């Protein structure tokens, strides 16, 4: 028993040292007073941590989330729990359900009426769950990609008029397992033990390709965009995992995953770091430029995804601009 306890203590010590070694230092704060940001999924997890840091930098922050009580509480917490840190009363909640294209349109309309400026759009919200939305698409694919695609298009003119501005799309390294076919885009996946996970991976590949094609279409403007992998983060993303899997999965999450504040660092890096404009459309992880897996660099697939996404959300050709030369 004594040796077992000693071994467990040594393993815990090694784990603690490794975790401290990989913990990212927060980037220097960039003054953001006078700038407005939207953070989707801002009521908890990485979104709330991102919103808090943007507020600390002085930005006016809109928390866009589905659950009104949680969203209002998160905004109130940022405004009041530590005023000595933020000193920023300009944090508010607006309701947005990405699983409803009707809600996305209503949010965009309300935001454009109420807010004269938009400088940062952080497309952070995400789910990993089965099911079908009211619009007939798979839940993960609509929340993670199609809802954000429509939201970005509806707000794009405001971002252009307020440039320099940025769009940050929270993707995932899970994009490496994505298999997108534009002709079946958004259809509920066929039943199977891994169908929900495959749908999630497909949506994350769509995130990477969305950033790439958006940058291509915005070349020559003052709007830049970035796809980010936040790391493996202990959030509520996998709360819908099967019950049988949770006893195996949760201890690993607790031991090895980042916390939300750590997971927010790459989003914050791409939202605020000077000099990233030349990397528009690229993929970042651990606050560094990285190459996505080959499907995430497929410009033909990115263009086909864009055109299919326009059609599915009801934008058509009028919703986007002609595509210039692909990224190098």
Convert the pLDDT of each residue in 109-162 to its tens digit. Answer: 999 999 999 999 999 999 988 899 999 999 999 999 999 999 999 999 999 999
Q: How many domains does the chain have?
A: 1
Mean pLDDT across the stretch 252-277? 80
pLDDT at residue 9 above 60? Answer: no
Residue 4 lies in a domain: no
Start-to-end C-alpha separation, the chain: 60
**Distances from the Cα of 166 to the Cα of 123, 129, 272, angstroms:** 11, 29, 9
What integer pLDDT is reported at residue 77 of this predicted model? 92
Mean pLDDT across the stretch 50-57? 94
**How far is the C-alpha of 169 from the C-alpha of 283, rounded, in Å?**
10
Residue 94 lies in a domain: yes
In the chain, DSSP finds a helix count (H) and a strand count (E) of 12, 8
Residue 5 lies in a domain: no
What integer pLDDT is reported at residue 146 of this predicted model? 97
Residue 328 lies in a domain: no
**Is residue 148 a contact partner of residue 138, using CB atoms and an 8 Å limit?**
no
What integer pLDDT is reported at residue 14 of this predicted model? 40
**How far is the C-alpha of 97 from the C-alpha of 94, rounded, in Å?**
10
CA angle centred on 129, ends 124 and 134, rounded to 5°: 85
Query: Which of 12 and 48 is assigned the larger pLDDT?
Result: 48
What integer pLDDT is reported at residue 197 of this predicted model? 87
What integer pLDDT is reported at residue 297 of this predicted model? 97
Burial grade of 6 (CB within 10 A; 0-12, 13-18, 19 or more)? exposed
Query: Which of 2 and 107 is assigned the larger pLDDT?
Result: 107
**How far is the C-alpha of 237 from the C-alpha of 233, rounded, in Å?**
9
Residue 58 lies in a domain: yes
* Residues comprising the chain, all counted: 328
**Distances from the Cα of 196 to the Cα of 128, 178, 188, angstroms:** 7, 12, 9
Query: What residues are labeled active site?
Result: 200
Residue 325 lies in a domain: no
**pLDDT band with cut points at 50, 70 and 90 for residue 327:** very low
Mean pLDDT across the stretch 181-189? 78
Residue 21 lies in a domain: no
pLDDT at residue 251 above 90? Answer: no
What does the pLDDT look like over 301-326, one tens digit per residue? 999 999 999 999 999 654 444 333 33
Residue 168 lies in a domain: yes
**pLDDT band with cut points at 50, 70 and 90 for residue 189:** confident
pTM (two decimals): 0.83
Q: Calculate the average pLDDT of the chain.
A: 83
**pLDDT band with cut points at 50, 70 and 90 for residue 238:** low
pLDDT at residue 84 above 80? Answer: no
Residue 252, domain CATH: 3.40.50.720
Percent of the chain at pLDDT above 70?
Answer: 75
pLDDT at residue 106 above 80? Answer: yes
Domain span at residue 62?
30-316
**How far is the C-alpha of 104 from the C-alpha of 150, rounded, in Å?**
7
What integer pLDDT is reported at residue 319 of this predicted model? 41
pLDDT at residue 234 above 80? Answer: no
pLDDT at residue 97 above 90? Answer: yes
Element (H, E) at 284: strand 283-285
pLDDT at residue 2 above 60? Answer: no
**pLDDT band with cut points at 50, 70 and 90 for residue 232:** low
DSSP-derived 3-state class of residue 187: coil
pLDDT at residue 187 above 90? Answer: no
Residue pointed to by tokens 């400088």: 119
């Amino acid at each position: 028993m004594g040796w077992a306890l000693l071994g467990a203590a040594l393993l815990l010590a090694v784990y603690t040292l490794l975790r401290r070694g990989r913990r990212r230092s927060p980037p220097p704060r960039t003054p953001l007073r006078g700038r407005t940001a939207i953070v989707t999924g801002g009521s908890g997890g990485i979104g709330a941590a991102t919103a808090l840091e943007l507020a600390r930098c002085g930005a006016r922050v809109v928390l866009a989330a589905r659950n009104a009580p949680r969203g209002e509480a998160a905004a109130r917490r940022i405004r009041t729990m530590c005023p000595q840190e933020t000193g920023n009363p300009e944090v508010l909640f607006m309701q947005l359900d990405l699983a409803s294209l009707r809600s996305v349109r209503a949010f965009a309309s309300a935001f454009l009426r109420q807010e004269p400026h938009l400088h940062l759009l952080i497309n952070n919200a995400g789910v990993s769950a089965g099911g079908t939305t009211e619009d007939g698409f798979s839940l993960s694919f609509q929340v993670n990609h199609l809802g954000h695609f429509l939201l970005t298009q509806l707000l794009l003119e405001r971002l252009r008029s307020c440039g320099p501005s940025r769009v940050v799309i929270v993707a995932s390294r899970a994009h490496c397992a994505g298999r997108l076919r534009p002709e079946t885009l958004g259809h509920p996946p066929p039943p199977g033990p891994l169908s929900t996970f495959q749908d999630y991976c497909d949506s994350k590949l769509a995130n990477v390709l969305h950033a790439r094609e958006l940058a291509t279409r915005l070349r020559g403007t003052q709007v830049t965009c970035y796809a980010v992998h936040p790391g493996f983060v202990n959030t509520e993303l996998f709360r819908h995992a099967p019950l049988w899997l949770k006893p195996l999965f949760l201890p690993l999450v607790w031991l090895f995953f980042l916390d939300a504040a750590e997971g927010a660092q790459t989003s914050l890096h791409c939202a605020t770091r000077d000099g990233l404009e030349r990397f528009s459309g690229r993929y970042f992880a651990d606050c560094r430029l990285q190459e996505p897996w080959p499907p995430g660099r497929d410009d033909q697939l990115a263009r086909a995804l864009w055109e299919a996404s326009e059609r599915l959300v009801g934008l058509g050709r009028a919703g986007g601009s002609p595509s210039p030369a692909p990224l190098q």
